[in-house]
Structure 1
C-alpha cells in the first residue's frame, strides 16, 4: 500500500486571488482570432450570418445543408459515410502523420490515405490534395518505392 500513498495524497496547487485597488485594473487581451474554412459555416449555422461577398455567401448558403453544428463544433454529414468531424490547420497534418506513419507504419498511397482519413471520421475540403502532397513528400516512401 505504500506505493499508492503518493498518488492519492499529492499536493494540490493553490490559486490565490489578490484584490485590486481602485485605480488598478485587470486587462485581458485576445491574442488572435483564426479564420478557417469552417468559420463561415459556423457563423451561418449559429447566427444566420453570411459573408459580404455575394458569390461566397451564396456558396456557403448552398453547402450549409451538408454541415451541422453541435456544441460549437462543425460536423459534415453525408449519404455514404458517417458524420465526419471538420478540422483545419495543424490538426490536419497531425492526422495525416498518424495515419500514414502511425503505429503500424503502413505508408499507404494518396488515395488510400484519403479514404483512411474519412474512415477515421475527419473531413476538410482539401483532403485529397493534402494526402497527395504528404505521400509524395514522405522520405521513406520515396526511398523504398518501386
Structure 2
C-alpha cells in the first residue's frame, strides 16, 4: 500500500497521522499516481541525449583471473606404488615405479623371514623409496593402500609398535635425500598392480642352491575376466542338522529328547532362503552360515587386506560379522595366534 496515497485520500484519520494532512494542506498538494514508463518514451529520451565521446562498455571483469591457480606440469615427478603380502604361502613385497613419461618399472621381492602384514608393507615402501633414490629421482609421490603406514609416515598417527619404529626411522632418513616426497593413501582397487606383484612374490618358492629364474610379465590390451568357483566341501558342514530340520522338520536318527530340544532351540535363530542357511544376529542382521573351507578363505582374505585394515582377535571377528558371515568357532579362530 502507498502511504502517501493513504494520507491524502483517506476521509477520516486519527492520532498523529491526522495532523499530517492538516499541515500539508497549506501547500495545495494533489496526489497523482505514477504511471509506468513506456519503452518508446525511454528510447526517445535517450535518442535526444547524444554523447560525443562514447566509449564501448567493458563486459569483462578486470583482473578476473588474478585468483586462479593454474596447475603446473612437473616433468621430474615420479610415482611409486607399493604393497606387501603376508599369508600362509609366505611373505612378499611388490613395487611399481612410474616415470614422468609413464614408463612402468615393476619390482618384486620375496621376504625370507617371518613378518606381520604391516611389516611387509613397510618393507615394500622402504624398498621402493630406496630404488627411486638410486634412480636419481628428486620429486616422488608415494601411494599405498595401507592406512596405518601412510598415516604414520605423514606423522598423523604415532608409531608405537617396536617392530615398525626402525622402518619408520629408515624411510624418514631416506626422505631427506629428495627435494620433495609425499605419501598418499589409495583404495585397494587402485593398487592392483603392486598387490599382484606382492602376492606373486609370496607364492614363489626360492631354491637357494640355484639361480633364481626371471619372471616374464605380459600385459593385455583387452580386459581379462576371473571366474570365482567355490570348492565343494567333503562331508557335512556344522549346520547340516539345523538346515535339515528347518527344511524337512525331521530329527537326525538316534538322538535323545534333550538333543531334540537343543536342536529346536538352536533352529529358532536360523532360517533357510533359497537353500542357504542364515542366522539372525541380535540386531536382526542376517548372517550367512559358512562351512570350514569357506571360513578359511574368509580368514585368508582378511589377512590379505581385502576387507580393509588388518586386525587381530575380537576386532577381526566383529569385522567378519559386519561383512555378513558366521560359523560356530568364529571368535576362537580369530583369536588363534
Q: 1:124 aligns with which of 316, 327, 332?
A: 327
Change in 2 beyond 3 A, CA 1:104/1:62: closer
1:40 matches 2:40: no
How many residue pairs are counted as aligned between the two chains? 105
Per-residue deviation at 1:104?
Answer: 6.8
Deviations 1:72-116 (A, max 9, x none): 110001232510000011110110111232247733111110001
8 Å contact from structure 1 (residues 100, 113) kept in 2: no
Change in 2 beyond 3 A, CA 1:42/1:111: same
Q: For 2:270 and 2:241, how far apart are their aligned partners in 1?
A: 11
Deviations 1:25-55 (A, max 9, x none): xxxxxxx962121110111000011123223
Q: Secondary structure at the match of 2:335?
A: helix
Per-residue deviation at 1:58?
Answer: 2.0
Q: TM-score, normalised by structure 1?
A: 0.64
Q: 2:255 aligns with which of 29, 53, 58?
A: 53
Q: For 1:63 and 1:90, how far apart are their aligned partners in 2?
A: 23
Change in 2 beyond 3 A, CA 1:104/1:36: closer
Unaligned stretches of 5+ residues in structure 1 = 5-31, 137-146
CA RMSD of aligned residues (A): 2.2
Q: Secondary structure at the match of 1:80?
A: coil
* Shift >4 Å, 4+ stretches: none
1:1-146 map, 5 Å: 34-51=235-252, 52-54=254-256, 55-103=258-306, 106-133=309-336, 136=337
Q: Secondary structure at the match of 1:37?
A: coil
Q: For 1:44 and 1:33, how far apart are their aligned partners in 2?
A: 21
Higher helix share: 1
Higher strand share: 2
Q: For 2:310 and 2:335, how far apart are their aligned partners in 1?
A: 12
Q: For 1:96 and 1:104, how far apart are their aligned partners in 2?
A: 10
Change in 2 beyond 3 A, CA 1:109/1:34: same
Q: TM-score, normalised by structure 2?
A: 0.29
Unaligned stretches of 5+ residues in structure 2 = 1-220, 223-232
Q: For 1:35 and 1:121, how far apart are their aligned partners in 2?
A: 22
